[in-house]
C-alpha cells in the first residue's frame, strides 16, 4: 500500500479540486494499492493569521483586487519569493514538522504555490525525506512561489509555465508539461450536444449561452444576464447561481425575453458544457481547462490581476475566446458571435478543444505513482539559511 500526501488549502477552489482529481485518478487506476491523505495545511497546521487564509482569501479577492494584483507583481521575483518563503517558514516550521510526523508518506504532492518552499524546508531537516512533487495549478501567470529547485518533479500545465520554471532556476528535466488536472468524471461525462440538450430539456435549436459565477454565484451575473436579455437576441440563457440563494430567487422572479434556465449549485457541469455554445465566466484556470476539454468557447468577463492575466491572453491568443470585462462588452461579444452564426461558433469551439488536455490527470497520477515507489531521499541536514539567525542566538 503506497501512501500519498496532498498539501493544499482552500484559498480558492482550484487547489482542492486539483488534489481531488489526482486522488480519484489514483484510486481508479491503482484501486486498493494506494492510500491518499489531503491536508489543508493553513487551516490544520499553521498559527494565526495563516490558519485563517481560507476565509481571508475570498474577501481580499472580492474587495481588494487592485491591491492583490499589485502585491502579486511586486512579490513575483526569485528574490522576493525566496525572502517571503523564508519568513513564512520561521512562523510555521513547528506545524509543518508535526504534520509530516503525523502523516508519513511515500510521496508528497503539493498543489499550492505558497506551501512549496516551506514544506521542502521542513522535509529537508530530517535525515531522509519522501519524493516531493509540485503540481502547478495556475495556468499561465505562475508565481515564483511555485518553483523550488529542491523538488523532485514539477508538473506544469502550459509552455509559459514551463518557461517560468526555467527562469526560476529549475532544470528542464525536473519539469514536465502535463496540462491542468481535471477530474476524470468530467471527460467521461461529456456527450454530444443533442443528447445533452434532450437530457436537460433545453431547446434543441437555439444557440445557448451558459453563465457561471463559481460555486458561490459571484460577480455581476444578474446585471450581465439582464443586459443580454434586454438585447433581445435569438438564443436561450442558462444561469448557474451556485450557492447564492438570493441571486437564484432574484433571477427566478425576473421576466425573460428568451427561454432561460436557472440552476443552483450543480454537479453535472460536463452535461451543461456539452449542451452549451458559449460560456460567460471569469478567467479561472479550472473552468478554462474544463471548457477547452468540452470545446466550449469562452467570453471571459473578469480576471484576478496578475494571477489570471495570463489566462486571458492564453484564451484570446489561441482563438478560443475573448476578454469582455464590462457588462456592455459581454453583450457586444455575445451579439457578434451569434450574428456570425454556426460557422464562427464552430471555429472557436475547435480552437478551444485544441487547448484541452483531458489526459492530464492520468499523466499526473502516473507520475505520482512512479515516485511513490522510489526510496526515501537522504538530505543535507545543514540548517537552511533561513534558520541561521535563530541558531546563532542559541
| Burial (Cβ within 10 Å: 0-12, 13-18, ≥19) of residue 192 | exposed
Closest CA to 166 of 181, 178, 154: 154
Same domain, 146 and 206: no
Q: Residue 220 has what pLDDT?
A: 87
Hunting for cell 541558531 — which residue is that? 391
Residue 62 has a CB neighbour count (10 Å cut-off) of 12
Q: What total of structural domains would you count in the chain?
A: 2
Answer yes or no: do 13 and 90 share one domain: yes
Both 239 and 98 in one domain: the answer is no
The range of the structural domain enclosing residue 348 comes to: 184-355
Listed in sequence order, the residues at least 6 apart from 281 whose beta carbon sits closer than 8 Å to its beta carbon are: 211, 212, 213, 287, 291, 298, 299, 300, 301
222 and 118 in one domain? no
Do residues 371 and 131 make contact, with C-beta atoms less than 8 angstroms apart?
yes
| Sheet of 260-263, strand order | 260-263, 236-240, 208-212, 278-282, 298-302, 321-323
Whether residues 276 and 145 share a domain: the answer is no
Co-location of 275 and 372 in the same domain: no
**CATH code, domain with 272:** 3.40.50.2000
Q: Are residues 372 and 315 in the same domain?
A: no
Strands 377-378 and 128-129: antiparallel
Sequence-distant (6+) residues with CB within 8 A of 287 are 212, 279, 281
DSSP one-letter code for 356: -
One domain for residues 285 and 148: no
The C-alpha angle 234, 265, 213, rounded to 5 degrees, equals: 60
User: Do residue 260 and residue 284 come from a single domain?
Assistant: yes
Specify whether 159 is located in the same domain as 77: yes
| Beta strand 208-212 pairing with 153-156 | unpaired
Q: Are 88 and 49 in contact (CB under 8 A)?
A: no
Each of the 394 residues of the chain gets a pLDDT tens digit; together they read: 999 999 999 987 689 999 999 999 999 999 899 999 999 999 999 999 988 988 888 788 777 888 888 899 999 999 999 999 999 999 999 999 999 999 999 999 999 999 999 999 999 999 999 999 999 999 999 999 999 999 999 999 999 999 999 999 999 999 999 999 999 999 999 999 999 999 999 999 999 999 998 655 556 899 999 999 999 999 999 999 988 999 999 999 999 999 999 999 999 999 999 999 999 999 999 999 999 999 999 999 999 998 999 999 999 999 999 999 999 999 999 999 999 999 999 999 999 999 999 999 999 999 999 999 999 999 976 544 444 333 333 3
46 lies in the same domain as 178: yes
Quote the CA–CA distance of 146 and 5 in Å, as a whole number.
18
Contact 22, 181 (CB under 8 A): yes
Same domain? For 105 and 135 the reply is yes
Amino acid at each position: 500500500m503506497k501512501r500519498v500526501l496532498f498539501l493544499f488549502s482552500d484559498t480558492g477552489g482550484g487547489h482542492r479540486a486539483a488534489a481531488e482529481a489526482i486522488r480519484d485518478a489514483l484510486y481508479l487506476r491503482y484501486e486498493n494499492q494506494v492510500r491518499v491523505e489531503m491536508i489543508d495545511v493553513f487551516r490544520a497546521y499553521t498559527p494565526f493569521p495563516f490558519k485563517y487564509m481560507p476565509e481571508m482569501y475570498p474577501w481580499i479577492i472580492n474587495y481588494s483586487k487592485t491591491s492583490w494584483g499589485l502585491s502579486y507583481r511586486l512579490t513575483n521575483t526569485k528574490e522576493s519569493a525566496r525572502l517571503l518563503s523564508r519568513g513564512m517558514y520561521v512562523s510555521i516550521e513547528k506545524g509543518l514538522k508535526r504534520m509530516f510526523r503525523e502523516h508519513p508518506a511515500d510521496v508528497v504532492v503539493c498543489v499550492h504555490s505558497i506551501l512549496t518552499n516551506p514544506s521542502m524546508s521542513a522535509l529537508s531537516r530530517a535525515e531522509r525525506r519522501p519524493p516531493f512533487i509540485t503540481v502547478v495549478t495556475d495556468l499561465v501567470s505562475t508565481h515564483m512561489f511555485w518553483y523550488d529547485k529542491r523538488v523532485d518533479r514539477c508538473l506544469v500545465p502550459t509552455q509559459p509555465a514551463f518557461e517560468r520554471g526555467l527562469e526560476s532556476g529549475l532544470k528542464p528535466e525536473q519539469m514536465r508539461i502535463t496540462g491542468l488536472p481535471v477530474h476524470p468524471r468530467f471527460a467521461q461525462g461529456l456527450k454530444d450536444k443533442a443528447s445533452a440538450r434532450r437530457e436537460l430539456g433545453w431547446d434543441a435549436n437555439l444557440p445557448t449561452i451558459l453563465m457561471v459565477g463559481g460555486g458561490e454565484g459571484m460577480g455581476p451575473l444578474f446585471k450581465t444576464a439582464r443586459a443580454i436579455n434586454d438585447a433581445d437576441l435569438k438564443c436561450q440563457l442558462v444561469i448557474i447561481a451556485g450557492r447564492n440563494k438570493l441571486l437564484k430567487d432574484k433571477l427566478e422572479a425576473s421576466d425573460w425575453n428568451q427561454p432561460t434556465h436557472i440552476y443552483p449549485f450543480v454537479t453535472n457541469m460536463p452535461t451543461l458544457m456539452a449542451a452549451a455554445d458559449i460560456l460567460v465566466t471569469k478567467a479561472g484556470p479550472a473552468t478554462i481547462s474544463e471548457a477547452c476539454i468540452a470545446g466550449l468557447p469562452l467570453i471571459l468577463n473578469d480576471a484576478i490581476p496578475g494571477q489570471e492575466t495570463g489566462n486571458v491572453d492564453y484564451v484570446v491568443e489561441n482563438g478560443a475566446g475573448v476578454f469582455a470585462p464590462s457588462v456592455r462588452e459581454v453583450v457586444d461579444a455575445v451579439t457578434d458571435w451569434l450574428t456570425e452564426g454556426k460557422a464562427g461558433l464552430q471555429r472557436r469551439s475547435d480552437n478551444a478543444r485544441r487547448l484541452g488536455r483531458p489526459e492530464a490527470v492520468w499523466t499526473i497520477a502516473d507520475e505520482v505513482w512512479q515516485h511513490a515507489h522510489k526510496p526515501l531521499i537522504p538530505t543535507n541536514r545543514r540548517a537552511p539559511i533561513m534558520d541561521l539567525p535563530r541558531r546563532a542566538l542559541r
